[in-house]
Structure 1
Amino acid sequence: MRIFLLEDDTDLSELIAYHLQKEGFNVLCFSKGIDLLEKVKDERPDLFVLDIMVPSLDGFRVASSLKSLPYTKDVPIIFLTAKTMEEDKLKGFELGADDYITKPFSIKEFLARVKAVLKRYGTLKGGGIVNLGSLSIDLEKMEVRRGSERINLTKTEFLILKTLLENYQKPVSREYLLEEVLKKEVYDRTIDVHVKNLREKLGKEGEWIKTIRGVGYKLEAL
């Protein structure tokens, strides 16, 4: 798998690239966002790892550009940054990031999170089976099981769950759920009722669906 890494600290860039390559990844490093954007015109990687505070074109602006391009909009993004403020993290997720890792960080944790993003992305894209706690979610058959027990979800409940999985750790607005899941104009409280029922049916894993006040919901392990 090919990873594009944007990091202007040469020592850190080389360290990250070394460990990714040890895990079998093919890594191309950039110190400037504009160079990365030029390269994606010729080659589409499997993952972007972006530092935010880089010269000339910061990681947020690079991510915004990548999400606007038809050939990179579906490629997952991990932000790797010293910016630890909650508003920075929210901005990163609003721009479409799949994970946000703050410096300093453990290389082991970093590698684990890279693999988790790629696995989740590949599974969701391929319509495979996703594990959520003790639950097994079959995206193709639209089935959820805990062991041999099947959990009966309505189509709407399953689509909400799938959407939250696709945006794991990222806030999903009520408006988006109304437009993309229900695909009709209804009161936004209708979504709240579906989410309430979904939480109850999922049991302990239902607690992983968190309410983001004034926004909507996100799915995140406790």
Structure 2
Amino acid sequence: MAAKVLVIEDEEAIAQLLAYNLEKEGFTVRVAGDGDEALVALEEELPDLVLLDWMLPNVSGIELCRQLRARPNTRELPVIMLTARGEEEDRVRGLDVGADDYVTKPFSMSELVARMRAVLRRSAPALAGDVATFADIVLDRQQCRVRRGKRDIHLGPTEFRLLDALMQRPGRVYSREQLLDRVWGQDVYVEIRTVDVHIGRLRKALNRSGDRDPIRTVRSSGYALDETYGN
């Protein structure tokens, strides 16, 4: 599953250039032109990483980063700041307010993508490459294969995407609504209980008699992958 990136950049030409090149690299990109638009986008769907321009109209990137770190749902959201301000004190200021990395303009796309993948490896390792692992489960995105231990797991396309979503952030509880958005998409109407049906199918495929169930149901909240659950 592609990592979702929110680009917050008020210069349209730069925003379009970033979106075009990042989509070529396999990312799913959404663009916001200012802080207010970015906050609306974040309320609608949390990305996996934010590219944040320092010089934004109305609310600066520094202030927006400070706000993200103060909110419970975005406190751990990876943020890379983009700016023409290359002085050491500016870099320190950006990192002090909570940015995970700091890239000065002009920059090469190859360097930016490398830094993005490095941040993702720390925050969500399963998003950084074609193969994701959790306990004894291995998911290969390129070959669309799943193994548990020494046996192949045969999943339908929806169950594959559902497992991929859960493996991106082990331990994190995803609500049914979040899983609907990530697996089925925001533009598709699907009954909320459809998630429960596909979780049931995924469990049946993953678990043989005596296997530990890696999927934890959180009452009234949703589902998570849990190393200790089912022991």
TM-score relative to the length of structure 1 = 0.54
1:82-109 superposed Cα distances (whole Å, 9 cap, x missing partner): 0112111111111111110000111111
The reply to whether residue 40 of structure 1 matches residue 50 of structure 2 is: no
Of 105, 108, 112 in structure 2, the residue corresponding to residue 106 of structure 1 is: 108
Match of 2:74 among 67, 72, 75: 72
3-state SS of 1:78 partner: strand
- Amino acid in the other structure paired with 1:40: L
Q: Which runs of 5+ in 2 are unaligned?
A: 127-131, 135-231
1:11 & 1:39 partners in 2: Cα distance? 20
The alignment-based identity, stated in percent, is 40
CA contact (8 A) 2:50 2:78 kept: yes
The residue that corresponds to 2:123 in the other structure is 121
* Secondary structure in structure 2 of the residue aligned to 1:120: helix
| Partner-residue secondary structure (3-state), 2:59 | coil
User: Where does residue 98 of structure 2 map in the other structure?
Assistant: 96
- Tell me, in whole angstroms, the C-alpha distance in 1 between the residues paired with 2:30 and 2:41: 10
Q: Are 1:85 and 2:60 an aligned pair?
A: no
Return the alpha-carbon distance in structure 1 between the equivalents of residues 43 and 124 of structure 2.
Answer: 22
- How far residue 71 of structure 1 moved from its aligned partner, in angstroms, is 0.7
Matches of 1:105 and 1:27, distance apart in 2? 19
Question: Which residue number in structure 1 is paired with residue 7 of structure 2?
Answer: 5
- 1:71-220 matches, cutoff 5 A: 71-123=73-125
Partner AA of 1:114 in structure 2: M
Letter in 2 for 1:108: S
Pair 1:127–1:71, CA change in 2 (3 A): farther
Distance 1:73 1:22, change over 3 A: same
1:32 & 1:102 partners in 2: Cα distance?
19
The letter for the 2-side match of 1:70 is: P
State the one-letter code of the partner of 1:18: Y
CA drift at 1:123? 3.7
2:7·2:52 contact (CA, 8 Å) conserved in 1? Answer: yes
Cα distance in 2 for partners of 1:127, 1:71 equals: 25
Q: Give the counterpart of 2:52 among 46, 50, 53.
A: 50
Instruction: Say if 1:95 and 1:127 are closer, same or farther in 2 by CA, change over 3 A.
Output: farther
Secondary structure class of the residue paired with 2:23: helix
Give, in angstroms, the shift of residue 27 of structure 1: 0.6
Q: Distance in 1 between matches of 2:125 and 2:117?
A: 12
Q: Is the 8 A contact 2:32 2:41 kept in 1?
A: no
Displacement of 1:42 after TM fit? 2.0
Q: Secondary structure at the match of 1:55?
A: coil
2:24 matched to which residue of 1? 22
Q: Tell me the number of residue pairs that the alignment of Structure 1 and Structure 2 aligns.
A: 128
1:127, distance to aligned residue in structure 2 (A): 11
In structure 1, the gaps of 5 or more residues are 129-222
Matches of 1:63 and 1:37 in 2, distance apart? 11
Counterpart AA for 1:85: E
Counterpart residue identity of residue 77, structure 1: V
Correspondence for 1:211: none
CA distance in 1, matches of 2:20, 2:44: 24
Matching residue's letter, 2:52: L
